[in-house]
């Protein structure tokens, strides 16, 4: 059996791979790994997105937590970053979020936060997996955990978001696509409190419609609504609202790379960009690298996954990082990616610069990018001399106007070949050449 935890918790088809039995067992194991070893009674906080299966899994996780003596605070449907924030705000030892983020409705997931609302490093997840194999003591009587509801969780989180922005958004017309997900109430409310005129779409979750042709993975309806209403800007969240993409007034998409550039420049002007450094993954477009270089900002790259961005931000005390997909992390205000927080600060950048988001995003001149998935028998082919020789040769062809990235898939027998170049034709030609070398071994 492979590793149970993926890049963002345990995820799978609800009631198939991700069963109530597994959810209960994970909850029990997490208490033993994450709670204080002292005499203090463990405290866990749990929330979920709007998926129907979240009701079933919530009951199973709560049962597991209570059965090993943890008290539980239930907050209901709120975004993942809200659960991280409230884990810290309530002093809980453990945070649990039930969500499969941008995945289709039938999937679900369990992600854990440590005290302070921080995501878990790989070694702690491995310890939770190992603890699944052990029997855990079960308290009885008064030692069984107790459950209570946090009725003001949404208000506490919304007030926190609004407190991070010192800008009046009056005069801005904003469309926000809530993906029929966890931020359907809090995202429009936070924008309105700052003065914006807000048009909320896909903000009526029914348990079955989360991410269905909406949100950050399906931007067409957001762009159409921006154009239809003459809005200044549009924001698209995903099901658990830990990511945000945007639409300019002309309906053009503003991706995570452009968002990071806008925020980095804004923070640098304000003197809030620690070390004049931005943290992104290796998948960010070379255009972002060029824009940051021209602005005097250092771009530090990590492996793919927001957890690796987070680790670098924490280790180096940097103040901004993210991914092309729209996971943007601002450690001064959040311990994880927060789509609503991102939208508030982007809107503030528009107000304070007097420029539309499309004009602000133009600082990133995206280079044509080609991504090929090459089936392989052995993913170590990327380390052979023949492949390295072709890489060196093609890197010379691209010069400083492009780059090549070879990345073995973490879950499939594939090697991903990514090439950026000054023209689409050159990117395709180089990608085809490198892919042929990978296939030949």
35 is in an annotated binding site: no
156-361: CATH class: alpha beta
Confidence category of residue 408, pLDDT binned at 50, 70, 90: confident
Q: State pTM to two decimals.
A: 0.92
Question: To 10 degrees, what angle do helices 80-89 and 153-163 make?
Answer: 90
Is 101 known to be catalytic?
yes
240 is in an annotated binding site: yes
- Of 410, 406, 431, 434, nearest to 419 (Cα)? 431
The predicted structure's pLDDT at residue 2:
66
Domain boundaries, the chain: 10-151, 156-361, 369-440
Confidence category of residue 307, pLDDT binned at 50, 70, 90: confident
Out of 53, 80, 101, 343, which one is annotated catalytic? 101
Question: To 10 degrees, what angle do helices 153-163 and 339-353 make?
Answer: 30
Q: Helix, strand, or coil here: 147? A: strand
Q: What is the mean pLDDT of residues 205-221?
A: 97
Residue written as tokens 């995501």? Answer: 119
Q: How far apart are CA 284 and CA 325, in angstroms?
A: 9
Six token digits for residue 337? 């990616």
Q: Is the pLDDT of residue 300 over 80?
A: yes
317 is in an annotated binding site: no
Confidence category of residue 216, pLDDT binned at 50, 70, 90: very high
Decide whether 10-151 matches 156-361 in CATH topology: yes
- Of 281, 244, 275, nearest to 259 (Cα)? 244
238 is in an annotated binding site: yes
Residue predicted with more confidence, 441 or 87: 87
Domain boundaries 10-151, corresponding CATH code: 3.40.120.10
Domain boundaries 369-440, corresponding CATH code: 3.30.310.50
DSSP 321-333: EE-TTS-EE-TTT
Q: How far apart are CA 120 and CA 118, in angstroms?
A: 6
């Amino acid at each position: 059996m492979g590793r149970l935890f993926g890049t963002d918790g345990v995820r799978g088809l609800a009631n198939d791979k991700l069963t109530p039995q597994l959810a209960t067992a994970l909850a029990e194991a997490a208490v033993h790994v994450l709670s204080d070893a002292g005499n203090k009674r463990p405290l866990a906080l749990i929330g979920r997105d709007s998926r129907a299966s979240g009701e079933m899994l919530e009951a199973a996780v709560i049962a597991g937590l209570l059965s090993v003596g943890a008290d539980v605070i239930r907050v209901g449907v709120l975004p993942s970053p809200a659960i991280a924030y409230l884990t810290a705000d309530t002093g809980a030892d453990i945070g649990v979020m039930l969500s499969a983020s941008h995945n289709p409705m039938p999937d679900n997931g369990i992600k854990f936060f440590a005290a302070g609302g921080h995501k878990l490093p790989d070694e702690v997840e491995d310890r939770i997996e190992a603890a699944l194999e052990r029997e855990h003591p079960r308290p009885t009587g008064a030692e069984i955990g107790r459950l209570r509801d946090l009725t003001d969780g949404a208000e506490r989180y919304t007030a926190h978001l609004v407190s991070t922005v010192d800008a009046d958004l009056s005069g801005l017309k904003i469309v926000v696509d809530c993906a029929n997900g966890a931020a359907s109430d809090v995202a429009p409310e936070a924008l309105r409190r700052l003065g914006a005129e807000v048009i909320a779409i896909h903000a009526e979750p029914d348990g079955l419609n989360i991410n269905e042709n909406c949100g950050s993975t399906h931007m067409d309806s957001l762009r159409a609504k921006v154009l239809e209403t003459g809005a200044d800007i549009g924001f698209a969240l995903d099901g658990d609202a830990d990511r945000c993409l945007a639409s300019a007034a002309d309906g053009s998409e503003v991706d995570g790379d452009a968002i990071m550039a806008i925020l980095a420049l804004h923070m640098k002007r304000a003197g809030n960009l620690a070390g004049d450094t931005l943290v992104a993954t290796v998948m960010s477009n070379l255009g972002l690298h060029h824009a940051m270089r021209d602005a005097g900002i250092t771009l530090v790259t990590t492996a793919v996954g927001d957890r690796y961005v987070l680790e670098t931000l924490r280790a180096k005390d940097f103040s901004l990082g993210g991914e092309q997909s729209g996971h943007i992390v601002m450690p001064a205000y959040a311990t994880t990616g927060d789509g609503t927080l991102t939208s508030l600060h982007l809107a503030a950048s528009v107000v304070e610069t007097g420029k539309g988001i499309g004009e602000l995003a133009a600082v990133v001149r995206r280079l044509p990018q080609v991504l090929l998935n090459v089936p392989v028998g052995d993913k170590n082919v990327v380390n052979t001399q023949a492949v390295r020789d072709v890489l060196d040769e093609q890197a010379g062809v691209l010069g400083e106007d492009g780059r090549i990235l070879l990345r073995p898939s973490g879950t499939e027998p594939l090697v991903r070949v990514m090439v950026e170049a000054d023209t689409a034709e050159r990117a395709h030609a180089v990608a085809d050449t490198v892919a042929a070398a990978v296939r030949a071994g």
